Amino acid sequence: MIGIGQELKICHLYPDLMNLYGDRGNVIALRRRAEWHGLRPSVEEVSLEDKSDFRRFDVIFIGGGQDREQKLICLDFQKVKGSALTEAVEDDAVLLAICGGYQLLGSYYQTGEGERVPGIGIVDLWTVAGKKRLIGNVIVETDLIEGPGPKTVVGFENHSGQTYLGAGLRPFGKVVTGYGNNGEDGGEGVIYRNTVGTYLHGSLLPKNPGVTDFLLRRALLRRYGVAELKPLDDMAEMRAHEAAIRRAKTKAY
């Protein structure tokens, strides 16, 4: 059955704190693409101190941020949202977390000064700041994208944290160009249940419509048992995708 007319509840977590390199564009892209597919999306912003039952959301988004914001959020996880977010993830709500948000899904983020900022511990991963910042355009290959479109994902990374995944966890994709999780093992990001963590800013979703559709399908399957989406004309998105691939390959910024 094709998804048309269903409500899609999007939660934008900490929009005022976590918004590096246009990460907010992911929420705009999710909403617009959902509309083009004939769904009925709504966006709710949730920030520090706000309590919520996150299981009622279909897609939860958290962007990237620096150490200062990460520390504030770590406290908010401990005091207010930690267990409700964990319940939503275990209930298969879709969660997309970028860079600093991704790091906080794990057990800790160790800063350059050696301070350990505890994460929410939803996913078995940990992050340690290295001496070198990992910066540049990235190309990743992932088998999560369905349909005839490219299996590549493009984005921009800028992090000092090096992330390591626990045994048995799958990365979101394989690095073709760039550093990814740690610059060593060739993995980029993580997929756990319906949670995707990735270092890719950019913003990610406008020029990777296959990833947006992957998230929308997972959300529709969970709530409505619907796994098909109306095909869309992705010419403009594909031109942006290809331009980003060219830039990454020529190391141009």
Contacts to ligand GLN from residues 176-195, by CB under 6 A: none
160 binds ligand GLN (CB under 6 A): yes
158 binds ligand GLN (CB under 6 A): yes
Angle made by CA atoms 48, 50, 53, in degrees to the nearest 5: 130
Q: Which is nearer to ligand GLN, 158 or 177 (CB)?
A: 158
65 binds ligand GLN (CB under 6 A): yes
- Distance between CA atoms of residues 48 and 46, nearest Å: 7
Q: Which is nearer to ligand GLN, 197 or 206 (CB)?
A: 197
Relative to beta strand 125-141, strand 152-165 is antiparallel
SS3 assignment, position 249: helix
Relative to beta strand 108-110, strand 94-98 is unpaired
Q: Which is nearer to ligand GLN, 9 or 71 (CB)?
A: 71
Q: Which residue has the tokens 């800063």?
A: 111
110 binds ligand GLN (CB under 6 A): no
Contact criterion met (CB below 8 Å) for 181 and 141: no
Spell out, one character per residue from 68 to 107, where the chain touches ligand GLN: x when CB under 6 A holds, - when not.
Answer: --x----------------------------xx-------
- If one counts every other C-beta atom within 10 angstroms of the C-beta of residue 147, the result is 14
Q: Which of 33, 37, 159, 207 binds ligand GLN (CB under 6 A)?
A: 159
Q: Which is nearer to ligand GLN, 90 or 184 (CB)?
A: 184
37 binds ligand GLN (CB under 6 A): no
Q: Tell me the residue nearest to ligand GLN as measured from the CB.
A: 64
CA distances from 126 to 10, 14, 136, 163 (A): 27, 21, 22, 6
- Site residues, ligand GLN (CB under 6 A): 20, 64-67, 70, 99-100, 158-161
